[in-house]
Amino acid sequence: MVGTARQFGARRSLYYSRMRTLTGRSADSGEELLRRMAARRRRDNVAVGILAVLAVLGGGYAIISLFSAPPKGPSEDSTAVLIGNAQLAESYARDFVVAYLGASAGQHDQLSRYLGDNQQLTLPATGQQVSDSSVVHIARDFSTSSIDIWAVTVSVRLGAPAHGGATTTAAPAADDRQYYRVAVSESGGLLRVLSPPDAVQPPGQGADLALGYTMSCPTDSALATVSGGFLSAFLTGTGDITRYISPNSGITALAPPPFTGVDTLSVKSDDSSCGTVAASSRVQIMVNPKDASGAVPTLAYSLTMIRSAGVWQVQSIDPTPLLRQPMAVVAGQGTPSTASGTSSATATTSSSPAAQIPPATQN
């Protein structure tokens, strides 16, 4: 009996000990749960605040865009269709301007394929002589899922009026080119002019940008010798052009050669040493070519040249000349004396000041 009582007492002590442990753990778990709930509430409040700010600043779209994927760009097929439609509008507008300016009184029916009969038109007694038409600008002004509206600017040259079908043989004046803008609708390849054309200003004259060639090189310098020899072989087909080009440049002489001779006019470089120190250089060379009839206007070539194993070679014919950085506008007839980021050597040409162009900003 005594042993049984002792065993019962030990079990009861173990039971109460476990209960106290479980009770403590439950209390601890409850406090931890409250802390987690409070932290979650704070995070939710922050998220709600951010959404509220987005709603005030950008409306509902700002909230939707926060969770949505960015829109897909145009596909190759849609781009090809758009380009094709633009070319259709260009051709249609050019034909209309030529027909419209050349029409005379009583020829309204000839314009009906372009323009509606409800347009009130007054045509001259004698149509104009129209030639050398070209599209100089096109812009899509309005678009829906089924129709595009294109604004097309057409340039034409106007000569003396035609008389009885006869045309004049006098050469047109230099300033007789005029510009007309036409609104064209396009829907599924079907085209229509919205109204008669309006005469507009020709394209304005832009600013002269400062080039990055800072040094005029003498004719016996390394850069002048190699670039001059290269252009002679390139334009006349004489000599071995591979002597002047780098491997894998892809440059070949013009065939058939358009000129019989080439005289170097000037060579400018962004390398102040003109090829004695640098390992690469951007070069502009101006030449006076000759053909069978004599001299032709000056040509300018922008070249990238490299020095390999001590020998200068032409690596590429660049499509555009090197520009001064930061970009600047020439404030006069000369070129700036130095270009930022290139050699600080003084050029031998005139040194008019240049107005720096500020970097582009995004609206």
Residue 221's domain is classified under what CATH number? 3.10.450.540
- CA separation for the pair 12, 195 (Å, rounded): 105
Query: Checking DSSP bridges between strand 311-318 and strand 294-295, what pairing results, if any?
Result: unpaired
Mean pLDDT, to the nearest integer, of 203-214?
93
Element (H, E) at 337: none
Q: Is residue 14 part of a domain?
A: no
> What is the pLDDT of the chain when averaged over all its residues?
81
- The answer to whether residues 314 and 244 touch, using CB atoms and an 8 Å cutoff, is yes
Same domain, 175 and 152: yes
Of 200, 230, 260, at which residue does a domain stop?
A: 200
Q: Is the pTM of this model over 0.75?
A: no
Which has the minimum average pLDDT: 33-42, 121-130, 287-296?
33-42
Of 148, 175, 200, at which residue does a domain stop?
A: 200
What domain range is 53 assigned to? 42-71
The three-state (H, E, C) secondary structure of 114-182, written as one string: CCCCCCCCCCCCCCCCEEEEEEEEEEEEEECCCCEEEEEEEEEEECCCCECCECCCCCCCCCCEEEEEE
Same domain, 188 and 230: no
- The answer to whether residues 223 and 275 touch, using CB atoms and an 8 Å cutoff, is yes
pLDDT tier for residue 165 given thresholds of 50, 70 and 90: very low
Same domain, 231 and 348: yes
Domain count for the chain: 3
Mean pLDDT, to the nearest integer, of 326-336?
71
- 310-314 long-range Cβ contacts below 8 angstroms, 24+ apart: 312/222, 312/223, 312/226, 312/275, 313/226, 313/244, 313/245, 313/246, 313/249, 314/226, 314/227, 314/230, 314/244, 314/245, 314/246, 314/249, 314/251
pLDDT tier for residue 10 given thresholds of 50, 70 and 90: low
Mean pLDDT, to the nearest integer, of 241-255?
95
pLDDT value of residue 208:
93
Same domain, 89 and 62: no
- pLDDT tens for 77-101 read 788 889 999 999 999 999 999 999 9
Distance linking the first and last C-alpha atoms of the chain:
96
Q: CB neighbours of 300 closer than 8 A, spacing ≥ 6?
A: 284, 285, 286, 287, 321
Same domain, 281 and 179: no
Q: How far is CA 260 from CA 256, 291, 294, 298, in A?
A: 11, 5, 9, 14
Q: Is residue 94 part of a domain?
A: yes
Q: Count CB-CB contacts under 10 A for residue 329.
A: 16
Q: Is residue 195 part of a domain?
A: yes
Same domain, 255 and 351: yes
